[in-house]
């Protein structure tokens, strides 16, 4: 459970890539010299960057060996680096730092965003998308199952969930002194999935990972069974039999 699973993540590739497309559409650069895809995962967002900027050097950065393996298979012409985004420093020639769903995992990411902006040359851009979904039932129910099961004492010692994002004003106040243009917006996606079990499969690739990592293999099955039962109760089947996964996300495009 220490590494991410590219296969699990890619079960919902189209839905996970859509926010990256929406973020990239607002990047106001025509011909950047160098682009870095931070938290590139299995290369789905990197592929969008290569398509948008075919004559640009595009690199991908991730801390997961499995994600990078998949990314290299997908885009052998690109360079991919295994590194921690919190300690990595961009090349001075970088014109775009693109980050699709990575900074929500970094506790003090606002300070890191400021540091990255300060390293960029004039006219360069930082484009960020982060899930803002900790209030949604699928996250709330993770916390409930963790606090009520036989493993409750283990989860009570320390939180395993990432922190709630600051509000948009906090990002604006910290980033606007470093930019000549700053765009912040939120989008709520409504993803139709086959059933409640599909919601469980979705979060097994992301938000549920820290919970499962703290459990023994046998406990994971019990935890998932309890969680799955609550998800099935929380999500109503729509007219066509599917369920809607509500997914709020925060977007930032900052230009130096």
Q: Round the average pLDDT of the chain to a whole number and report it.
A: 93
Examine the pLDDT at 212 and tell me if it is beyond 80.
Answer: yes
Examine the pLDDT at 1 and tell me if it is beyond 50.
Answer: no
Per the domain annotation, does 57 fall within a domain?
yes
Examine the pLDDT at 73 and tell me if it is beyond 80.
Answer: yes
Which residues does 14 contact at the CB level (< 8 Å), separation at least 6? none
Per the domain annotation, does 1 fall within a domain?
no
Angle between helices 217-234 and 196-204 (to 10 degrees): 140
Query: Over the Cα atoms of the chain, what is R_g?
Result: 19
Contact at 8 Å (CB) between 246 and 188? yes
204 or 249, greater pLDDT: 249
pLDDT digits (tens, 9 = 90+) for 17-42: 999 999 999 999 999 999 999 999 99
Q: Is 69 exposed, middle or buried (0-12, 13-18, 19+ CB in 10 A)?
A: middle
Once rounded to an integer, what is the mean pLDDT over residues 124-151? 96
Examine the pLDDT at 52 and tell me if it is beyond 60.
Answer: yes
Number of separate domains in the chain = 1
Per the domain annotation, does 206 fall within a domain?
yes
Q: What sign results for the dihedral spanned by CA atoms 62, 126, 250, 191? A: negative
Put the strands of the sheet holding 57-62 in their side by side order: 79-82, 57-62, 34-38, 96-100, 125-131, 243-255, 181-193
Among the listed ranges 185-194, 215-224, 232-241, which one has the minimum average pLDDT value? Answer: 215-224
Q: What is the pTM of this model?
A: 0.94
Per the domain annotation, does 141 fall within a domain?
yes
3-state secondary structure the chain: CCCCCHHHHHHHHHHHHHHHHHHHCCCCCCCCCEEEEECCCCCHHHHHHHHHCCCCEEEEEECCHHHHHHHHHHCCCCEEEECCCCCCCCCCCCCEEEEECCHHHCCCHHHHHHHHHHHCCCCCEEEEEEECCCCCHHHHHHHHHHHHCCCHHHHHCCCCCCCCCCCHHHHHHHHHHHCCEEEEEEEEEEEEECCHHHHHHHHHCCCCHHHHHCCCHHHHHHHHHHHHHHHHHHCCCCCCCCEEEEEEEEEEEEEC
| pLDDT classification of 7: cutoffs 50, 70, 90 | low
Examine the pLDDT at 53 and tell me if it is beyond 50.
Answer: yes
pLDDT the model gives residue 202: 93
Examine the pLDDT at 9 and tell me if it is beyond 80.
Answer: no
| pLDDT classification of 149: cutoffs 50, 70, 90 | confident
Range of the domain at 76: 6-255
Which residues does 221 contact at the CB level (< 8 Å), separation at least 6? none
Per the domain annotation, does 30 fall within a domain?
yes
Strand-pairing partners, residue 254, are 126, 182
Per the domain annotation, does 28 fall within a domain?
yes
| pLDDT classification of 206: cutoffs 50, 70, 90 | confident
Q: What is the CATH number of the domain that holds 180?
A: 3.40.50.150
Examine the pLDDT at 2 and tell me if it is beyond 80.
Answer: no
Per the domain annotation, does 143 fall within a domain?
yes
């Amino acid at each position: 459970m220490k590494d991410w699973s590219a296969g699990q993540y890619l079960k919902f590739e189209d839905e996970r890539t859509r926010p990256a497309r929406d973020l990239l559409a607002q990047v106001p650069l025509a011909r950047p010299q160098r682009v870095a895809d931070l938290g590139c995962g299995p290369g789905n967002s990197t592929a969008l960057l290569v398509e948008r900027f075919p004559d640009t050097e595009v690199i991908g950065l991730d801390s997961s060996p499995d994600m990078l393996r998949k990314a290299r298979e997908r885009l052998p012409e690109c360079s991919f680096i295994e590194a921690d985004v919190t300690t990595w420093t961009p090349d001075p020639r970088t014109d775009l730092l693109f980050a699709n769903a990575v900074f929500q995992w970094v506790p003090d990411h606002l300070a890191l965003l400021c540091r990255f902006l300060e390293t960029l040359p004039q006219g360069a851009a930082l484009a960020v998308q982060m899930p803002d979904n900790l209030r949604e039932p699928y996250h709330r129910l993770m916390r409930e199952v963790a606090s009520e099961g036989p493993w409750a004492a283990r989860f009570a010692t320390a939180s395993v969930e990432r922190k709630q994002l600051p509000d948009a004003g906090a990002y604006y106040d910290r980033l606007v002194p470093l930019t000549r243009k700053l765009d912040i917006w939120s989008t709520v996606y409504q993803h139709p999935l086959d059933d409640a079990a599909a919601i469980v499969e979705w979060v097994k690739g992301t938000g549920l990972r820290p919970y499962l990592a703290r459990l023994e293999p046998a406990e994971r099955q019990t935890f998932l069974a309890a969680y799955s039962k609550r998800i099935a109760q929380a999500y109503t089947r729509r007219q066509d039999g599917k369920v809607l996964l509500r997914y709020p996300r925060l977007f930032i495009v900052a230009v130096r």
